[in-house]
Amino acid sequence: MGFTYHWVLAILMLYPKSANSELFAKTSSYFGELASGCNLFSGEWVYDSSSTHLYDSLSCPFIDSQFDCLKYGRPDKDYINYYWKPSSCNLPRFDGVDFLRRLSGKKIMFVGDSLSLNQWNSLVCMLHAAIPNAKTTFVKETPISHITFEEFGVTIYLYTSHYLVDVVKEAKGNVLKVDSIEEGKAWVGMDMLIFNTWHWWLHTGPKAQGWDFIQYGSTIAKDMDRLQAFSRALTTWAHWVNQNVNPSKTKAFFQGISPSHSSDCDKAHEPDKGSTDSIRPEPATVVLKNVLTMLRNPVHLLDVTALSELRRDAHPSKYGGRAGLDCSHWCLPGLPDTWNQLSFNDVN
Task: Report, as residue numbers or ranges, the catalytic residues.
Answer: 114, 326, 329
Interior/surface letters 220-241, b for 16+ CB within 10 angstroms, e for the rest: eeeebebbbbbbbbbbbbbebb
Cβ-defined contacts of 219-227 (< 8 Å, 24+): 220/175, 223/2, 224/2, 225/2, 225/3, 225/4, 225/7, 226/1, 226/2, 226/3, 226/201, 226/202, 227/3, 227/4, 227/7, 227/8, 227/11, 227/201, 227/283, 227/284, 227/287
162 vs 74, 143, 223, 255, 315, CA distance in Å? 28, 11, 17, 14, 20
Whether cis (ω within 30° of 0) applies to the bond prior to 75 is no
Q: Indicate the SS3 state at residue 98.
A: helix
Strand 173-177 versus strand 192-195 pairing type: unpaired
Report how far apart the first and last C-alpha atoms of the chain are (Å, whole number): 42
231: CB partners within 8 A, 6+ apart: 287, 290, 291
Strand 144-149 versus strand 154-160 pairing type: antiparallel
